[in-house]
Structure 1
Amino acid sequence: MAVNEYKTNSRIKIMEYLIESKERAVSVSDIASHMKEQHCSVNVTTIYRYLDKLEKDGNLIKYAAEKGDKTTYQYVEREHKCDEHLHLKCVKCGAVIHLDCCFMAEISRHIAEDHGFALQCRNSVIYGLCSQCQKMQNKQKV
């Protein structure tokens, strides 16, 4: 947070929750539930406003909702350079993996050259199952 930024107990608790949950995307209702558990009264509108601010500042990625799903948010360190890579999101547990590897240059080049399309990576998500959820799913099949 900037030095002159307005800090409140609720903003501090929201940021703490986002940082501690940074390996997965969380919804506004997840944040509101956590705040209630922490005995911190905060209006849902306040949560939305603060999340919008964090997104504009580059500290948060907003993942658009699919039909019937909730929009989710993930705290990111600025050095993640989320504008330069895709994101893999587990549909089961909500984990988000940053696809920050040499593969990105190859896929971006292929899409540009063969399909005439320039990737916008920041909010781009590929949905699937993480390795942990795949293992659990395979155990359930046995």
Structure 2
Amino acid sequence: MESQIPRKPRILCLHGFRTSAEILKRQVLRWPAAVLDKLDLIFLDAPYPAQGKSGVERFFDPPYYEWFQATEDFTEYTNFEECLAFIEDNMMKSGPFDGFLGFSQVGTFICCIAWNAERRISPYQGSKNQVSDNNIRSQVWRAKVRTS
């Protein structure tokens, strides 16, 4: 009987605010080979070019991306729903995934995706019968913020 090689855990890696998939990849590839050899890491750029200076300009060359934009007092967000849909769409195309590696701004999305999946309102369920509605997603996000 042939023994099958176990599949490595597939991890979706999402960079932080005003950085990039390439920057996160360069940082993660400094981890020990004993860790990296056990993972299938998939890196994704945010869909929006950075709208301001990046905090990593001294260390890494552009381009830089951001997931969503917020007002200075963080009371209003732009492109949040679109970005959540962008990540979930990429998960459907490139998945399945066993976990996330996220930094900074993207931690919010990881929480929302897990929250939506738990309530079966995310399109990322492994089923073609699941329905996703931006209005529902938005309501879940607001409910989660209020309970935090």
Q: TM-score range by the shorter chain?
A: under 0.3
The normalised TM-score by structure 2 is 0.24
More helix by share: 1
Higher relative contact order, chain-length normalized (CA < 8 Å, sep 6+): 2
The normalised TM-score by structure 1 is 0.25
